[in-house]
Amino acid sequence: MLRRCRQPLAWVLGQCGLGRPPRANNVADEIRFESGTGSEHAGMHGAAILWPKPLDRAWCGFAHGREKFGSAHTNALMANAALPSRVTLPRQEGTESEKRLEKRLPLDPPGPYSTLASILKGRSGRANIVTRSVRQPMSTMKGLLLLAIAGLAVAEDGLNAWLRYSPVANAQALRGRLPTGLVALNTTQGSPVNTAAKELTQGLNGLFGVRLSAAKGDGKGGDRPRNAVTVGTVAQFVNANPTVRIALPELIEDGFHINVSGGNVRILGQNERGALYGAFHYLSLVAQGNVSDFSLASNPEAPVRWVNQWDNTQDGGTHGSVERGYGGKSVFFWEGRIREDLTRAGQYARLLASIGINAVVVNNVNANATLLAPELMDGLARIANVFRPYGIQLGFSLNFAAPQMYGNLSTFDPLDKSVIEFWQNVTDNLYARIPDMAGYLVKASSEGQPGPLTYNRTLADGANLFARALQKHNGICVFRAFVYDHRNLNQTLDWKADRANAAVNFFEGLDDKFEPNVLVQIKYGPIDFQVREPVSPLFSHLRKTGAAIELQVTQEYLGQQAHVVYLAPMWKEILDFDLRVDAKPSRVADIVTGKRFNTTLSGYAGVVNVGMNTTWLGSHLAMSNLYAYGKLAWSASADPAAILSEWTKLTFSSDPDVLRVIADISLASWPAYENYSGNLGIQTLCDILLGHYGPNPGSQDGNPWGQWTRADADTIGMDRTVKNGTGNAGQYPPEVAALYENIDTTPDNLLLWFHHVPYTHVLKSGKTVIQHFYDAHYNGSAVAQTFPKLWESLKGKIDPERYEHVLYRLVYQAGHSLVWRDSVNNFYFNKSGIADAQGRVGNYKYRIEAESMKLEGYQVYDVRPFEAASGAKAIVTTSNSTQGIASTVVGVESGKYDLAVNYYDQAIGNSTWELFLDEKLVGKWKGDQEYILGKAASPYIDGQTATRVTFKGVRVDKGAVLKVVGTPDGLEPAPLDYLSILPEGVVD
């Protein structure tokens, strides 16, 4: 896959890069429309998005408030065109076909901030350089080092993430302090120690041009190697050096020790995996230029540091190849089988091992029972073989009803003898193929998934069924606490109904009922990965049962990697939260590392959901979240800013500007996202009925999913108090319960999570709730506007490929943050009727509404939810085969302006829009984001698809005719919301 360029960089740029087809790096090769909350594939909103149906959100089945909108236009479109159920492109397996797809698919479009000249030049005219800077052969090292010093950046595609091993700036000067020899204490192919040796060889070569040679002397007979790096386990070291006496620190499972003294380096693990972790750690230090002498020991705080992939065996359905995955298709599965080519699975294992992850659950928690077929078990064993050299064990998600669905039994009752036998048999068969399998992950009795509750059995009965089958194999059963009833919660009739209460209620009385090899995996908050939640009270209820915290690296509710949101500060806040169990310090981190309740099984699960895209997650900057997840799972005391800085150095460079800019963007990103999505603990406010992406505050209420806000014309928030509400506050230990029960002591950022208040309620800040909403949305989106500019200051300091890729997303995010701002503000303005004290909401002085322009071939369209369009209306072409023109005479004084156009990029076609000033083309763009951004695709004109393009510094003359020509494509009717003529520097 890597195209190797064995020439100096100048030649590389000329021959390998320019003139070749640019790398598209698109994340989607076919489009699917995801259902919303929950995973019940044939469920109510899952079914609601099946074609052919009128392309109107009304039939989503839930009321969106008082407004009613028609759908004549889209009905007409539907009648005119045969709508494909999906846009489908070739489906051959593997990298080759994906390469072909890259060529067929639209390439990265010009950034919305691009100048007219570059847009007119067209995509193919852009210089895309496809070489990577890893593993340059020795002959090119000198040249590369010089160029690295000169600060020139080589294009990269992200595949190697933070393990690039690209030349360090002052490699020549540091080389004298590095080892030249290698002693690997286990050279068995496939052993983690052997992998460590290979990694050290590759790493020191890439970073410094040092070629490690096998050192003479293995220590036996006093013949000690000099200037060598020795890597292995403590036991292997002692065995190879029986006469040597050195003091070794105490190591626990997976721990490691590193001693550096000049060129002599000793890396010893408690086990082979630990030795590999040590090698990666050493490499990360030297990659950051640290070659001084030191000695350190590092032990993980928790034994379970797992990754969950929500990969489906089959593409399609409402969730595609990877449920809530935004980086392309599964690296494991293809067309119901395990991929023949597991190269990417191996590369993934390498990345994960380098951050201390020790197991990966490869298939979706909404598990497919057919994976139990012998040939698929064989395939799983192939994945395990690819993982093993990296010390990664394979975990497997089970479908609770498999005895019935796959085994043809009449029941899946966990206490039934035939069911017990079925699972023992399955488990034995799996372990016969994968003797070191980590265990099972079970989602049961949740969101339509089968489980023990079907037979009135307890969750413990369910978990123990698998735990017992696993015991003789030393496997563990990870049982998810994400159990709730999404069908019968009634918001209207039951003030006390609360999904947040479900986990504690279901686990009540079970703490001493679980087998010792059961671990309960608990999402950080009581609902579902929202931008702000209190920690789950269940952490304080399980004292005898091991608990793991479930974090989500994939940004399901938090921007789906199309928005930068650095999550480590949020995770850190959760891990540091003190639950005060029995009035004693009880940090969540101490509970999930087993310290607080002396549990042996404990740890972390990160839902990661990488895909085949070379960026893994769909966005380069999102990878800091994966890195940070591993680091925090190793040690919760790690500092998010320090983790980010380390990640930046390894992923991009140590240039102070690069470090500063990435820190400025990343550390501001979670507060900004919270500000422009959902504040004061009201939840994220995205569309929970479709895709979980763009704004749709109305989707939270009026359905049984239980993510309610209870917003009406006067009041908002969930009353979770004991005295008057759902009682959820009372699920916390007394000190915390008292904090949340009392509105005066509840922190503002969780106010609406725990209390139902008037919009006029005054916060501790002195602002009313409604004014806080307005201000926060303006402030948050203003912060997002700074991101593209900050990034642009790094031009030339980041390789062009990643620079452009990131810039495209940041520009998109800046535009979409305005969509968020206006949608949420207008929604609550409309509900409450309370004006913004600063007069901004509803007043947009630079805007020209498309519906107020002169229209030819375009017609006005009522958008729903109404707040997804400025003025509740957009325009769409009158047919799906004819152009539309919207024009107006410019009224502003002549001068230079930024022209912003808000349009909708639906995933049902690739319309083209052209912007003219007096017949002179200002810009032209295509609606093809569905192939590029990776976020959940939407067929609707709504908050998911609303998008902005900006043309900067355009000369506008008073009286000129401003015109947009929209050319529809497929079923996308070139929808247009509004234009803004903004004085330079103003964003609105």
Where are any strands of DSSP class E within 785-850? 847-849
| Neighbour count for residue 69 (Cβ, 10 Å) | 16
SS (H, E, C) 676-743: HCCCCCCCCCECCCCCCCCECHHHHCCCCCCCCCCCCCCEECCCCCCCCCCCHHHHCCHHHHHHHHCC
Contact indicator for 466, 17 with CB cutoff of 8 Å: no
Give which of 370, 196, 213, 364 is closest to 267, Cα–Cα.
Answer: 196
**Active-site choice (528, 687, 822, 928):** 528
For ligand GCU, the closer CB: 50 or 837: 50
The residue (of 162 and 753) whose beta carbon lies closer to ligand GCU is 753
Which C-beta is closer to ligand GCU: that of 528 or that of 719? 528
Strands (E), 439-598: 439-442, 476-480, 518-523, 546-552
Shortest reach from residue 608's CB to ligand GCU, in Å? 13
Its sign, for the CA torsion 128, 131, 132, 136, is negative
- For residue 387, give the amino acid letter: F
Sign of the C-alpha dihedral, residues 720, 721, 725, 728? positive
Which residues of the shown chain bind ligand GCU in the complex (CB under 6 A)? 37-39, 323-324, 365-366, 443, 482, 528, 556
Long-range contact list for 627-631, CB < 8 A, 24+ apart?
Answer: 627/161, 627/162, 627/355, 627/651, 628/566, 628/567, 628/568, 628/571, 629/355, 629/551, 629/553, 629/568, 629/571, 629/604, 630/305, 630/352, 630/354, 630/355, 630/356, 630/357, 630/606, 631/355, 631/356
For the CB of residue 55, give the shortest distance to ligand GCU in the complex, in Å: 23
Residue 34 CB, shortest distance to ligand GCU, in Å, is 8
C-beta closer to ligand GCU: residue 528 or 801: 528
Cβ of residue 84: shortest distance to ligand GCU, in angstroms? 25
52 preceded by cis ω (within 30°)?
yes
Q: Establish whether 375 is a catalytic residue.
A: no
Structure tokens at 432: 């016969």
| Residue nearest to ligand GCU according to CB distances in the complex | 39
Structure tokens at 384: 């395990």
CB closer to ligand GCU, 39 vs 186? 39
Active site residue 984: no
Taking the C-alpha atoms of residue 365 and residue 345, their distance in angstroms, rounded to an integer, is 19
Give the DSSP letter of residue 966. E
**In this structure, what DSSP letter does residue 17 have?**
I
Q: How far apart (Å, rounded) are the C-alpha atoms in residues 107 and 124?
A: 8
Give whichever of 365 and 770 is closer to ligand GCU, judged by the CB atom: 365
Residue number, 567 or 899, with CB nearest to ligand GCU: 567
CA–CA separation, 554 vs 615, rounded Å?
13
CB 607 within 8 A of CB 310: yes
Residue number with CB closer to ligand GCU (310 or 897)? 310
- DSSP annotation of 454 reads G
Q: How far is the CB of 499 from ligand GCU (least distance, A)?
A: 11
d(C-alpha 534, C-alpha 308), whole Å: 23
Give the nearer residue to ligand GCU in terms of CB position, either 287 or 690: 690
Whether residue 556 lies in the annotated active site: yes
Work out how close the CB of 39 gets to ligand GCU at its nearest, in angstroms, rounded to a whole number.
3
* Gyration radius of the chain's alpha carbons: 28
Smallest separation, CB 607 to ligand GCU (Å): 7
Report the nearest approach of ligand GCU to the CB of residue 728 (Å): 19
The DSSP code for 87 is: B
Kindly state the tokens that stand for 462. Answer: 């369910």
| Closest approach of ligand GCU to the CB of residue 89, in Å | 24
The CA distance from 7 to 177, in Å, is 28
If the CB atoms of residues 696 and 721 are measured against ligand GCU, the closer one turns out to be 696
Token code pair at residue 670:
């979670």
Could you give the dihedral angle defined by the CA atoms of residues 362, 366, 370 and 374, in that order, rounded to the nearest 10 degrees? 30
Q: Of these residues, 254, 461, 498, 556, which one is catalytic? A: 556
Min dist. Cβ of residue 447 to ligand GCU (A): 6
Nearest in space to 317 (alpha carbons), one of 332, 344, 336, 337: 336
Taking the least distance from each CB to ligand GCU, the nearer of 270 and 684 is 684
Work out the end-to-end distance of the chain between its first and last CA atoms, rounded to an integer number of angstroms: 44
Bridge partners (DSSP) listed for residue 904: 946
- Distance of closest approach, residue 634 Cβ to ligand GCU, in angstroms: 24
Residue 716 Cβ vs ligand GCU, minimum distance, rounded to whole Å: 23
Q: Which of 272, 413, 447, 550 is catalytic?
A: 447
For residue 200, which amino acid is it? L
Q: Is the dihedral of CA 193, 198, 201, 203 positive or negative?
A: negative
Give whichever of 39 and 870 is closer to ligand GCU, judged by the CB atom.
39
For 804, the enclosing helix (H) or strand (E) is helix 800-832
Task: Report, in Å, the least distance between residue 440 CB and ligand GCU.
Answer: 15
634: Cβ contacts below 8 Å, ≥ 6 apart: 298, 300, 301, 305, 355, 356
- Other Cβ atoms within 10 Å of 664 Cβ, number: 16
Which residues carry out catalysis? 447, 528, 556
